[in-house]
Structure 1
Amino acid sequence: MKRKRFTEEQIIGVLREQEAGAKGADLARKHGISEATLYNWKAKYGGMDVSDAKRLKGLEDENAKLKKLLAEQMLDAAALRELLGKKMVGPVAKREAVAHLRAVMDLSERRACQIVGADRKMVRYQSCKPPEIELRGKPRDLANERRRFGYRRLFVLLRRDGEPSGINRIYRLYREEGLTVRKRRARRRAVGTRAPILIEAKPNARWSLDFVHDQFACGRRFRVLNIVDDVTRECLAAIPDTSISGRRVARELTVLIATRGKPRMIVSDHGTEFTSNAILAWSKDHKVEWHYIAPGKPMQNGFVESFNGRMRDELLNESLFLGLDHARSLIAAWVQDFNTRRPHSSLGYLTPMDFAKTITATGSGAPLSDGSAPAPLAQPAPHGVAETYEALIAAG
């Protein structure tokens, strides 16, 4: 029967017999090997003694170990390159990394855990918590309805609907569902010194006016005249049209005053509609102080600028206007929602309508987000001022 394995001593012994004069065919038949194997032994071990053969065997074994270590190091480096850019913080991220290495590089679970630095028990752990399918669906549905709302406003809306979960739980589900709002990159603006403008802490103390522009689906452009109450943050009017002149602005202000009352001050920029003779005559006839901000300083009219940003982010950039009537209906519905349902962060997440009722009834500011006593909105007038009954707040 042909032998499967010969030691180095046996191979050297067979070669010594051949060197002594024995024929190769007889040696092959005697030891149960082929003549080709005998020639291979002679090429490898010819002229060696037993110690040389053992030393060669040891070098081969050591070389094989080094090759294995090098291959493992290269495999580890390739695995780490595969995980480049992934954060290995937390058990969830480590589980995902192990699953990725096993799927992409066909590594074993033990090897993948060694590379990632994860415990195999942690990787195999199955959570016993309920899936929270219903709770996950609530913020997802709200986020689909209001795509530019962050988790804080979604949390306020969920609390209104009776959801008892805390804000940290809502934030975790918000992140796991991938509902994070993508921030639009804005142009950097220089920030200088800012002097506060004092206004009364009551509705109609000061209004702000500005225009925002957009276009229809056909490409025709239109503009929206926005009028905002700086104290209550209410949108008093949002008037879309293809052309709005100074006379149209004066006419809309007259209609608004008839229903809401006269403001003490109106703030605007130096647009041609606001510096026209019609506006100058209107402010003189109605005895309303009209304040123009400094040229190139839109943040002096920051309340309406902030409102314009919210309108563009949540409505104009998210809607396709088919015509002027369609734009008017959508803008009117959004303004109604803004005043009555949308929580405003600077008002303690109250709506502008609720905040207006609060300061009208109590003369104080919005309650804090944790439900504690409301913080005072107005500060007492300085000594020596004749109108001591008027509370003034820094609004600039």
Structure 2
Amino acid sequence: MARKRHSDEDVLKLLREIELKLTAGDDVASACRSVGISDATYYNWRRRFGGMGRAQLSEMKSLEKENARLKKIVAELELDKLILRESKPPKAQGLTTEELRQAVIYTRQKLATSERRTCRVIGLARSSLQYRPAPRDDDALRLAIISLAKQYGRYGYRKIAELLHVEGWKVNHKKVERLWREEGLQLPQRHKKRKRLYHKDSSIIRLRPTHPNHVWAIDFVHDKLSNGRSYKMLTVLDEFTRQALAVVVRTKMGSDDVLEALYPLLLRHGSPEYIRSDNGPEFAAEAMQGWLRRVGIKPIRIYPGSPWENGYNERFNGTLRREVLNAEWFTTTKQAQIVINHWLRQYNHTRPHQALNMRPPVPETLLEKPMISGPDTRG
């Protein structure tokens, strides 16, 4: 016969019933037989519940539940500490997902813990533990990336990813970055200290462009030919569209030469409202400043010793030097002009620009060249 199990409330009722029988003169054995329990059971119940009421019984049960809950929490914390001590995988140490996966596998084998708890303590998602990458053949994509990297030697993986999208590749930029690093194509990072564009009274130093032909920026870039002879390049940039309007190469260039280089640009693109320049003698000459005012263009001259105020043009000059001047060796200024003009078309029509949401300054001409990594046909 199965043994009957009494609840705590039933025990309390039976004890009171036995106490009433004892008060009426019955002995312990007969009183216990009348309720269907043994003497030993009666003494055990009285030792545990004797003198309790329903309120005390309810309080005792809540305390027991709380004690059991605290014991479980302590046990879980001890188990978590043991898991961490055995696996040593804190995420702050910069472990990779594969290293965390190996830590979970090792800990489970040694401590026989559950997968859910071990992953939670170590800091690895269960989906990451169970993930098995599908083998893929990335050789064609690698070759396309290497081909673009050879053709555009100073581009980073972001620009290469945009060029791949133009060619029709459906690939995530993170995968391009991974393959880029595996092939050792990453460029060294340059960190420059940025200066403020504000006065002490919080007024803005630099006029910011708001529409095309609002502000043009002009500046000089100096370099030397293979025979050691110096030459100059006048760079003209529309600050709003970021389009490089021209790079004029001359052995010597004064204020009159600057005006001669600007005149066809004004006819082709229209007159800007402002032209920003530094305080070089070619730009500060009264003949040039007066001519600009007469044709309705307001000249802006940056503060002496503050080239960062002409930041758009300085950035373009740095790109020109990294991608062309440092990569080519010119024997004549005519050769330099031809190569720079070819690069200028690429800069305006092909090269993705981060400030323009990874689009070139003149994106419509991308339709004329669907295969960017194809053979280079210089005209």
TM-score (norm 1): 0.56
Instruction: Provide the residue aligned with 1:221 in structure 2.
Output: 230
| 3-state DSSP of counterpart to 1:321 | coil
Aligned to 1:212: 221
Aligned position for 1:134: 140
How far apart are residue 191 of structure 1 and its match? 4.8
CA pair 303-190 structure 1, distance change in 2 beyond 3 A: closer
Give the letter for the 1:316 counterpart: L
Unaligned runs of at least 5 residues, structure 1: 1-86, 93-125, 357-396
**1:105-184 alignment, distance < 5 Å:** 129-183=135-189
Match 2:334 to one of 325, 328, 331: 325
**Alignment partner of 1:210: what SS?**
strand
Q: Where does structure 2 lack aligned partners over 5 or more consecutive residues?
A: 1-93, 100-131, 366-379
Query: One-letter code of the match for 2:336?
Result: A
For 1:329 and 1:166, locate their aligned partners in 2 and report how far apart those are by CA, in whole Å.
Answer: 36
Match in the other structure for 2:360 = 351
| CA distance 1:198–1:269, shift in 2 (3 Å) | closer
* C-alpha separation in 2, matches of 1:355 and 1:193: 36
Task: Answer yes or no: is the 8 Å Cα contact 2:349–2:364 preserved in 1.
Answer: no
The CA distance in 2 between the partners of 1:190 and 1:265, in whole Å, is 23
* Pair 1:153–1:141, CA change in 2 (3 A): same
Distance 2:303 2:278 in 1: 8
Residue 91 of structure 1: how far off its partner (Å): 5.4
Q: Select the residue among 307, 314, 319 that pairs with 2:316.
A: 307
Q: Is the 8 A contact 1:347 1:355 kept in 2?
A: no
Q: Does 1:337 align with 2:343?
A: no
Code of the residue aligned with 1:246 in structure 2: it is S
TM-aligned CA distance change 1:190 to 1:261, over 3 Å: closer
Q: Quickly say closer, same or farther: Cα 1:220–1:189, change in 2 above 3 A.
A: farther
Residue 249 of structure 2 corresponds to which residue in structure 1? 240
Q: CA deviation at 1:89?
A: 5.1
CA shift, 1:189, in A, is 6.4
User: Structure 1 residues 235, 128: closer, same or farther in 2, change over 3 A?
Assistant: closer
Q: How far, CA to CA, are the matches of 2:248 and 2:173 in structure 1?
A: 37
Q: Are 1:264 and 2:273 counterparts?
A: yes
Are 1:268 and 1:301, in contact at CA under 8 Å, matched by a contact in 2?
Answer: yes
1:147, 1:181 within 8 Å by CA — same for their partners in 2? no
- Contact in 1 for aligned 2:198/2:205 (Cα 8 Å): no
- Per the alignment, residue 68 of structure 2 pairs with none
Q: Distance in 2 between matches of 1:219 and 1:353?
A: 36
Q: What aligned pairs does 1:25-40 form with structure 2 within 5 A after superposition?
A: none
Higher helix share: 2
Question: Are 2:197 and 2:309, in contact at CA under 8 Å, matched by a contact in 1?
Answer: no
Aligned partner of 2:77 in structure 1 is none
The corresponding residue for 2:259 is 250
Q: 1:156 and 1:127, CA in 2 relative to 1: closer, same or farther beyond 3 A?
A: closer
Matched-pair contact (CA < 8 Å) for 2:197–2:206: no
- The residue aligned with 1:55 is none
- Say whether the 8 Å CA contact 2:350–2:360 is kept in structure 1: yes
Q: Tell me which residue corresponds to 1:273.
A: 282
Amino acid across the alignment from 1:303: Y
Deviation digits for residues 105-151 of structure 1 (CA, Å, limit 9, x no counterpart): xxxxxxxxxxxxxxxxxxxxx99723421111111111111111111
User: Matched residues in 2 for 1:169 and 1:184: separation?
Assistant: 23
For residues 88-107 of structure 1, the aligned pairs below 5 Å read none
2:216 counterpart SS class: strand
Answering whether residue 297 of structure 2 is matched by residue 288 of structure 1, we say: yes
Distance 1:210 1:266 in 2: 10
Q: How far off is 1:321 after superposition?
A: 1.1
Shift of 1:280: 2.0
- Once residues 219 and 267 of structure 1 are traced to their aligned partners in structure 2, the CA distance between those partners, rounded to angstroms, is 31
Give the superposition deviation at 1:243: 0.5
Tell me the percent identity: 32
Divergent runs of 4+, >2 A: 87-92, 182-186, 188-194, 196-202
Post-superposition shift, 1:276?
A: 1.0
CA distance in 2, matches of 1:136, 1:201: 40
Cα deviation, residue 299, structure 1: 1.3
Q: Does the CA contact (< 8 Å) of 1:203 and 1:232 recur in 2?
A: yes
1:355: how far off? 8.7
Letter aligned with residue 311 of structure 2: G
Q: Which amino acid aligns with 1:181?
A: L
- Residues 231 and 249, structure 2, Cα contact 8 Å, conserved in 1: yes
